[in-house]
Amino acid sequence: MTAISGAILRRAASLSLGTMLVALAMSGPLAADDRGGERIFTDSFELGHVSAWSRFQPQDSAASTLDLIEPQQSLIFNDPTPAIVLGFRDPLSGVDLSSLSIQVDDQVISGCRLSAHSAACEAPALDSGFHALQISLADRQGNTVELNQQLEIVLDTVPPQIVWQSPIDGSLLATPQVSAEALVNDADDQVSAIRINGSGQVPDGKTVTANVALQAGANELWIEAVDRAGNLSRSAIEVTLDLIPPTIALLEPSPGALTQRPTVRFRGSVSDDHGVEGLWIEGSPVALMDGDFDLEVPLVEGVNDISLLARDSAGREVQWTVAVERVTVPEVVITSPVDRQRISTTTVDVSGAFNGSVAGIWVNGIPATLDAGTFTVDNVPLDGGATALIAAGFTAGGSTSTDKITVLRDLESPILGVSEPLPGSETFAATTTVIGAVRDCSPRTV
């Protein structure tokens, strides 16, 4: 009752019931509302009672607060009908919900769920692109607030495409770090993130590279790319790091082997944990049968350092040098003169043949001329009587071969004596007998 104002008293004075007038006279003077409004009194009388109530009508010149709660950002991915949620308040006159207007691209949105301080609506189906959201709301005093927001709808359900450039899927690698490279494409050119084996990569054009450390054995290389709509694509390849070079098992020859043969047999096998690319001996490729090899390798006289190189499929190599010494025993034969031949001169021309890798031939200390397996030495001096002719051949490795004959120097002519017929004798026979003798130091010359 204390809140009843003087205006009420003035209004009550016109009423016919004096008792009510007294009761109402107890009220205080009309006062301005502490919220700046003005009180309006209405009254009625029923059956001797007085009912009195008031309605607060504030002085409200401020528009309501209006907040766009959803969407929280103007860029919307893969949601053609985004929710539109508003929050609003008006502490003075209150919000006039009937005034709420929501339009997208001038199309009115209806069917919103309303409460005292919020509205939740669903936008109509929107295409990709920019859309104008317009909201207006009035309070009960007619103060209107407007909210204009531009929305961008991006409808993209296609994840980025990843095309590996290097290494090739299934590669066998020999280095513990590989440069991975891939092309990443998205229809909108809107790749937002790329990760290669977990490393964040900022998209830089369409080519993405990263150095990836490898472990021995199989390694997975993977790329994940995300477009700005959140579509994720992943691509993985497998590469193998091969840290172990191939192994050569040589059954023969033994290192340092000696042989007289012009070739040496190389026999053994090559193996590797990830496959053998090949074997080369002295730079020439060797045929392998399930890793086994068996071949003859030519030798030169002396020590042969024969190189073997094996390479695995990853490019790792192992290299050996096997020393094999060829020791040739030459054969030197004097063919002229013959053994025991009588020579009627003080020198003799000696010739002969040889085989093997003879580096030089000397006859009685005189160097011979070698030509295609033959040798000659002219004018080898002969002693009186028997002279030994010794041809000695030497190989580069120091092996020797000799041939020896003996010739007889014979400077005397044979002596011829005839005893019959006597010199000057005559005969009538058709034949005659001659008797005589020949004498020489060598019976073979007669």
Cα radius of gyration rounded to whole Å, the chain: 63
What is the separation, in whole angstroms, between the first and last Cα of the chain?
Answer: 186
Q: Shortest distance, CB of residue 48 to Ca ion, whole angstroms?
A: 41
**Closer by beta carbon to Ca ion, 187 or else 418:** 187
Applying CB under 5 A, the span of 14-22, 110-118, 121-129, 274-282 interacting with Ca ion comes to 274-282
CB 380 within 8 A of CB 407: no
Q: Shortest distance, CB of residue 110 to Ca ion, whole angstroms?
A: 24
**Closer by beta carbon to Ca ion, 227 or else 301:** 227
Q: Shortest distance, CB of residue 237 to Ca ion, whole angstroms?
A: 20
Nearest to 69 by CA among 117, 110, 101: 117
Applying CB under 5 A, the span of 38-46, 66-74, 184-192, 247-255 interacting with Ca ion comes to 184-192
The correct pick among 3, 15, 40, 62 for binding Ca ion (CB under 5 A) is 62
Strand order in the sheet with 317-326: 257-259, 317-326, 302-312, 276-281, 284-285
d(CA 365, CA 392): 8
Is the N-terminal amide bond of 337 cis, ω within 30° of 0? yes
Number of chain positions touching Ca ion (CB under 5 A): 17
Answer yes or no whether residue 227 interacts with Ca ion by CB under 5 A: yes
The correct pick among 84, 90, 210, 322 for binding Ca ion (CB under 5 A) is 90
Nearest to 65 by CA among 88, 43, 48: 88
Answer yes or no whether residue 156 interacts with Ca ion by CB under 5 A: yes
Report which DSSP code applies to 115. Answer: -
Q: Shortest distance, CB of residue 360 to Ca ion, whole angstroms?
A: 50
**Closer by beta carbon to Ca ion, 156 or else 325:** 156
Task: Tell me if residue 226 falls in helix, strand or coil.
Answer: strand
Answer yes or no whether residue 294 interacts with Ca ion by CB under 5 A: no
Using a CB cutoff of 8 Å and minimum separation of 24, what contacts does 126-132 make?
A: 126/80, 126/81, 126/82, 126/151, 126/153, 127/80, 127/153, 127/155, 128/153, 128/154, 128/155, 128/156, 129/153, 131/104, 131/105, 132/103, 132/104, 132/105, 132/106
Using a CB cutoff of 8 Å and minimum separation of 24, what contacts does 64-73 make?
A: 64/88, 64/89, 64/90, 64/95, 64/137, 64/138, 64/139, 64/143, 64/145, 65/89, 65/90, 65/145, 66/135, 66/137, 66/145, 66/147, 68/133, 68/135, 68/147, 68/149, 69/118, 71/151
Answer yes or no whether residue 403 interacts with Ca ion by CB under 5 A: no
Task: Quickly tell me which residue has 């920019």 as its tokens.
Answer: 130
Answer yes or no whether residue 244 interacts with Ca ion by CB under 5 A: yes
Applying CB under 5 A, the span of 9-17, 33-41, 134-142, 329-337 interacting with Ca ion comes to 134-142
**Closer by beta carbon to Ca ion, 317 or else 440:** 317
Applying CB under 5 A, the span of 19-27, 83-91, 96-104, 162-170 interacting with Ca ion comes to 83-91
Q: Shortest distance, CB of residue 141 to Ca ion, whole angstroms?
A: 6
Applying CB under 5 A, the span of 127-135, 140-148, 197-205, 295-303 interacting with Ca ion comes to 140-148
Answer yes or no whether residue 96 interacts with Ca ion by CB under 5 A: no
d(CA 343, CA 336): 11
The correct pick among 137, 139, 172, 270 for binding Ca ion (CB under 5 A) is 139
Q: Are strands 161-166 and 177-185 parallel, antiparallel or unpaired?
A: antiparallel
The correct pick among 224, 301, 312, 410 for binding Ca ion (CB under 5 A) is 312
Q: Shortest distance, CB of residue 183 to Ca ion, whole angstroms?
A: 15
Answer yes or no whether residue 318 interacts with Ca ion by CB under 5 A: no
Per-residue contact flags (x/-) with Ca ion for residues 21 to 60, judged by CB under 5 A: ---------------------------------------x
Answer yes or no whether residue 224 interacts with Ca ion by CB under 5 A: no
Answer yes or no whether residue 272 interacts with Ca ion by CB under 5 A: yes
Which residues in this chain contact Ca ion in the complex, by CB under 5 A? 60, 62, 90, 92-93, 139, 143, 156, 158, 186, 227, 242, 244, 272-274, 312
